[in-house]
Amino acid sequence: MTDTATLTFPDGQTIQLPVVVGTENEHAVDISRLRADTGYITLDDSYTNTGSCESAITFIDGEKGILRYRGYPIEEIAAHCSFIETAQLLIWGELPTPEQRGRFTSLLTENSSLPEDFRRHFAGFPAHAHPMSILSAMINALQSYDLPGLVIDDDDEFERVAAALISKVRTIAAAAYKSSIGEPITYPRYDLRYVENFLHMMFSRPYRDYVPSAEATSALNLFLLLHADHEQNCSTSTVRMVASGQANMYASIAAGVCALWGPLHGGANQAVMEMLTMIRDSGMSTADYLAKVKDRTAGIRLMGFGHRVYKTFDPRAKIMKELCHKLLDKPGMSDPMFDIAMRLEEAALSDDYFLSRNLYPNVDFYSGLILKAAGIPFNMFTVLFAIGRTPGWLANWREMRHDPGGRIARPRQIYIGPSMRNYVPMDKREGSSVVRATSKSGRILPVADAAGAPQPAKFTETTHSARLVPMPPAGGSTEGAEPYIS
Ligand code: ACO
Distance separating alpha carbons of residues 124 and 134, to the nearest angstrom = 10
Distance separating alpha carbons of residues 337 and 324, to the nearest angstrom = 11
61 is catalytic: no
* Cα 446 to middle of ligand 1, angstroms: 18
Name residues contacting ligand 1 (CB within 6 A). Answer: 264-266, 268, 293, 301-308, 357, 359, 362-364
Atom 22 (ligand 1): residue with closest C-alpha? 357
For the CA of 365, the closest atom of ligand 1 is: 44
* Cα 359 to middle of ligand 1, angstroms: 7
307 is catalytic: yes
Which amino acid is residue 480, in one-letter code? G
- The reported pLDDT for the residue numbered 405 is 82
- The reported pLDDT for the residue numbered 1 is 60
For the CA of 233, the closest atom of ligand 1 is: 50
- Among candidate residues 307, 314, 335, 464, the one labeled active-site is 307
Atom 21 (ligand 1): residue with closest C-alpha? 357
Atom 35 (ligand 1): residue with closest C-alpha? 307
For the CA of 385, the closest atom of ligand 1 is: 51
For the CA of 230, the closest atom of ligand 1 is: 51
* Cα 45 to middle of ligand 1, angstroms: 15
* Cα 405 to middle of ligand 1, angstroms: 34
Instruction: Report the residue among 227, 257, 264, 464 best suited for mutation to probe ligand 1: largest number of ligand atoms under 8 A from its CB.
Output: 264
- The reported pLDDT for the residue numbered 447 is 42
The edge-to-edge listing of strands for the beta sheet with 4-8 is 4-8, 14-21, 27-29
Instruction: Report the residue among 308, 309, 355 best suited for mutation to probe ligand 1: largest number of ligand atoms under 8 A from its CB.
Output: 308
For the CA of 272, the closest atom of ligand 1 is: 44
- Among candidate residues 146, 229, 335, 364, the one labeled active-site is 364
* Cα 54 to middle of ligand 1, angstroms: 26
- The reported pLDDT for the residue numbered 330 is 84
* Cα 336 to middle of ligand 1, angstroms: 25
Q: By the 8 A CB rule, do 73 and 97 touch?
A: no
Atom 14 (ligand 1): residue with closest C-alpha? 357
Instruction: Report the residue among 292, 307, 320 best suited for mutation to probe ligand 1: largest number of ligand atoms under 8 A from its CB.
Output: 307
Atom 44 (ligand 1): residue with closest C-alpha? 304
* Cα 302 to middle of ligand 1, angstroms: 8
Tens of each residue's pLDDT in the chain, 486 residues: 679 999 999 999 999 999 999 999 999 999 999 999 999 999 999 999 999 999 999 999 999 999 999 999 999 999 999 999 999 999 999 999 999 999 999 999 999 999 999 999 999 999 889 999 999 999 999 999 987 666 677 889 899 999 999 999 999 999 999 998 989 999 999 999 999 999 999 999 999 999 999 999 999 999 999 999 999 999 999 999 999 999 999 999 999 999 999 999 999 999 999 999 999 999 999 999 999 999 998 889 999 999 999 999 999 999 999 999 999 888 888 899 999 999 999 999 999 999 999 999 999 999 999 999 999 999 999 999 999 999 999 999 999 988 888 899 999 999 999 999 999 999 999 876 565 665 656 554 444 443 444 333 332 333 333 333 333 443 444 454 555 554
